[in-house]
């Protein structure tokens, strides 16, 4: 079983799905000969010269073309080079791809997977570091998926490509080459809509996704040194959300710290807070605490201040434990 980075695991998933299903096509800016800005599609054009397409710098065209391909029976996997640049295709995603099954009474679906790197951690500045997943989680008809390990990147991407409806697959660029993990070659699927318990604990629940799931594991290790056992829930899929796993954990621990790197106001963690307030309030032993980015553009020189880290999460744990 080879050890892979997340980039390699994504490349492996794309290659194996293209071998398995000749309906799978890849398109986007520099995804062909250049292999993508992060090299996630490197080498695929050599094996599949008729199914990997370099496109003009036109996100609306990339998404619109992919919707047409999907409606006519293909399974396109368009890449948007950075999530920060997805907005020229925003209307196509939320008004067309997400609505097609409903507006056609189930006669048509749009089985496409939009891959895009998101989040901070690579000194990308305010135009290459944003986390705007909440925009898309608000749109019925879209699935939103975020891996946090190489193995799950492969399993979740494979499941997304096979899904009959549009999926936004968000790749935490901080994790692209941060670590290696044994990743099985061949068939590997991870069900959408199922969170993972990364670490068991009895005192407080940490809820996160993507890079922040790894930050929470680090914070949980620090909390353990102080005698606090934190349970870490990695959501993996934001839409559909695995409410039962979240509620079961919080009902057990009685405390919740929600961590995301997007701006605090209107962030996806606010929805999780609302769910806990509505469905688990009688189990809560303290306030629901959020550890987040700030309500500012993403800064270049102060990136390490902006991004939640283990110490900030630990402070959130201390706050809820002391209540």
The catalytic residues are 128
* Contact yes or no for 284/186 (Cβ under 8 A): no
Transcribe 29-61 into DSSP letters.
TT-STT--TTSTTTTHHHH-TTTEEE--S-HHH
Q: What angle is formed at CA 145 by the lines to CA 140 and CA 148, rounded to 5 degrees? A: 155
Looking up tokens 């629901």 gives 288
Task: For the beta carbon of residue 227, count every other beta carbon within 10 angstroms.
Answer: 8
R_g (Cα) of the chain, nearest Å: 19
* Contact yes or no for 131/118 (Cβ under 8 A): yes
Among 156, 246, 255, 260, CA closest to 197 = 246
Strands (E), 183-261: 196-199, 204-208, 230-234, 237-239, 256-259
With 0-12 CB in 10 A as exposed, 13-18 as middle and 19+ as buried, what is 121?
middle
* Contact yes or no for 256/250 (Cβ under 8 A): yes
Helix, strand, or coil here: 144? strand
């Amino acid at each position: 079983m080879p050890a892979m980075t997340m980039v390699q695991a994504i490349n492996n998933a794309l290659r194996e799905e293209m071998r398995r299903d000749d309906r799978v096509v890849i398109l986007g800016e520099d995804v062909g000969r250049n292999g993508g800005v992060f090299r996630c599609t490197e080498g695929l054009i050599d094996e599949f010269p008729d199914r990997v397409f370099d496109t003009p710098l036109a996100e609306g065209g990339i998404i619109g073309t992919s919707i047409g391909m999907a409606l006519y029976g293909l399974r396109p996997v368009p890449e948007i080079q950075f999530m920060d640049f997805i907005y020229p295709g925003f209307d196509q995603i939320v008004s067309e791809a997400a609505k097609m099954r409903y507006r056609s009474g189930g006669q048509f679906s749009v089985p496409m997977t939009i891959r895009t790197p998101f989040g901070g951690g690579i000194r990308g500045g305010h135009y290459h570091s944003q986390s705007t997943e909440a925009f898309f989680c608000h749109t019925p008809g879209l699935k939103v998926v975020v891996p946090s390990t190489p193995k799950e990147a492969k399993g979740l991407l494979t499941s997304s490509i096979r899904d009959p409806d549009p999926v936004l697959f968000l790749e935490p660029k901080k994790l692209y080459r941060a670590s290696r993990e044994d990743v099985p070659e061949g068939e590997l699927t991870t069900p959408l809509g199922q969170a993972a318990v990364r670490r068991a604990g009895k005192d407080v629940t940490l809820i996160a996704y993507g890079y922040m799931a790894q930050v929470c594991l680090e914070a949980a290790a620090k909390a353990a040194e102080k005698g606090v056992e934190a349970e870490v829930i990695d959501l993996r899929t934001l839409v559909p959300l695995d409410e039962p796993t979240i509620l079961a954990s919080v009902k057990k621990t009685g405390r919740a710290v929600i961590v995301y790197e997007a701006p605090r106001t209107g962030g996806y963690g606010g929805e999780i807070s609302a769910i806990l307030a509505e469905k688990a309030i009688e189990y809560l032993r303290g306030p629901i605490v959020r550890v987040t980015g700030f309500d500012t553009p993403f800064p270049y020189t102060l990136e390490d201040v902006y991004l939640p880290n283990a110490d900030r999460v630990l402070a959130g744990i201390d706050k809820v434990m002391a209540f």
